[in-house]
Amino acid sequence: MKRIGVLTSGGDAPGMNACLRAVVLTAHANELEVIGFQRGFNGVVDQQYQTLSPYHVSGIIQNGGTILKSARCAAMQTEEGLQQAAQNLHDLELDALLVIGGDGSFRGTVALAKYYKGQLIGVPGTIDNDVDGSDFSIGFATALDTALDAIDKVRDTADAFERIFLVEVMGRHTGYLAVAAGIAAGAEQIICPELASELNLDKIADHVEQARKHRGNCSYIIVIAETMYPGGASALAADLEQRGIECRASILGHIQRGGRPVGADRILGTKLGAYAVEQLLQGAHMMMAGEINGQAGLYPLVLTGDKKKQVDSYLLRWQQQVAQY
């Protein structure tokens, strides 16, 4: 093995730079050349790339975003796009491609295997933490802290006005971030895909009323995962107001993707980046480098999007039972 490619794909996540740094340093130590593709798979299809040396990754471990930039790539959903990507990788004589991203990026990687003859490996990088095969994905810990910082501030004003707030957090298909942020912020209610069957306006309103019966006028925070209510948190706030429950909606949005990565994400990014390169040298192919119970390990890429990864059901159940008191 002489030359490997690397890219960051899908929603960017704090800690991706730490991972890139580890990939480049590990490759350099093993006399491998690294080509970095820009804007995810778009850089492969459109041939936008640069050689990455240790110089390029010095001083980036503390920065959010990704020096390679990130994007989703529509071309990777077409046979022509996949063939073009594979052709370009072959032309560059790349022995392997390392993809840092989430389940959508790994679906593209798996599809690429039909045409690309080199080794393929993934590293989980997404604030959603919805990738099977790793306890945590790079970026989740930082996004959680960012969401908590915001919700704690919302709590201050909610307390002062004895108000009800709906705080919308990211997580397209999963409530991992919503549950973690809701528990850690002491939210009174959490609305997430894992409780979707229990979601209805009557129940939500009833819970608020019960809490106010027990505690009198008080602050009350509902953490809601995006896509859980048609029209989002603002629409839900409007519907609750129709029932005489005055509340405010606060949508955290993309701030959750930015910021300096916390220590846990820098360490995870470093560990998985280094491990992925070492495993490529051992011949790993169609695998994701993840971490389970503190141990780095490989997990089949084709299984990473099975969406079986569970939120903490114990904490969620506990929160449902006690939060109104």
Give Cα 70 to chain centroid, integer Å: 13
Q: Is 305 in the site for ligand F6P (CB under 6 A)?
A: no
3-state secondary structure of 74: helix
Q: Is 142 in the site for ligand F6P (CB under 6 A)?
A: no
- Candidate residues 19, 100, 110, 127; the one interacting with ligand F6P per rule CB under 6 A: 127
Lookup: tokens for 238: 């409007």
Give the shortest CB-256-to-ligand F6P separation in angstroms: 7
Q: What gap in Å lies between CA 213 and CA 98, rounded to an integer?
A: 55
Which one is catalytic: 128, 130, 132, 265?
128
Q: Nearest-CA neighbor of 39 among 128, 117, 120, 105? A: 105
Nearer to ligand F6P by Cβ, of 5 and 10: the residue is 10
Nearer to ligand F6P by Cβ, of 98 and 170: the residue is 170
Q: What gap in Å lies between CA 127 and CA 253, rounded to an integer?
A: 12
Examine the residue annotation and report whether 103 is marked as an active-site residue of this protein.
no
Q: Is 171 in the site for ligand F6P (CB under 6 A)?
A: yes
Nearer to ligand F6P by Cβ, of 172 and 207: the residue is 172
Q: Is 11 in the site for ligand F6P (CB under 6 A)?
A: yes
Q: How far apart are the first and last CA of the chain?
A: 61
Q: Is 128 in the site for ligand F6P (CB under 6 A)?
A: yes
Q: Is 188 in the site for ligand F6P (CB under 6 A)?
A: no
Q: Nearest-CA neighbor of 246 among 167, 189, 162? A: 162
Q: Nearest-CA neighbor of 10 among 94, 81, 109, 80? A: 109
The residue type at 25: L
Q: Is 126 in the site for ligand F6P (CB under 6 A)?
A: yes
Query: In sequence order, what E strands does 53-148 have?
Result: 96-101, 119-124
| Interior angle at CA 125, CA 180 and CA 59, nearest 5 | 110
Q: Is 257 in the site for ligand F6P (CB under 6 A)?
A: yes
Give the shortest CB-46-to-ligand F6P separation in angstroms: 19
Q: Is 14 in the site for ligand F6P (CB under 6 A)?
A: no
Q: What gap in Å lies between CA 45 and CA 68, rounded to an integer?
A: 15
| Count helices and strands in the chain by DSSP H and E runs | 10, 11
Give Cα 4 to chain centroid, integer Å: 24
Element (H, E) at 165: strand 164-169
Element (H, E) at 222: strand 220-225
Strand partners, 80: none
Stretch that binds ligand F6P, among 84-92, 170-178, 184-192, 288-296 (CB under 6 A): 170-178
Nearer to ligand F6P by Cβ, of 176 and 220: the residue is 176
Q: Is 269 in the site for ligand F6P (CB under 6 A)?
A: no
- Candidate residues 73, 150, 170, 208; the one interacting with ligand F6P per rule CB under 6 A: 170
Q: Is 108 in the site for ligand F6P (CB under 6 A)?
A: no
Over the window 190 to 209, marking each residue x when it contacts ligand F6P by CB under 6 A and - when it does not, the resulting string is --------------------
- Candidate residues 3, 155, 172, 260; the one interacting with ligand F6P per rule CB under 6 A: 172
Element (H, E) at 206: helix 201-215
User: Which residue is nearest to ligand F6P, using beta carbons?
Assistant: 11
Give the shortest CB-279-to-ligand F6P separation in angstroms: 25
Residues labelled as active-site residues = 128
Sites of contact with ligand F6P (CB under 6 A): 10-11, 102, 126-128, 170-172, 226, 257
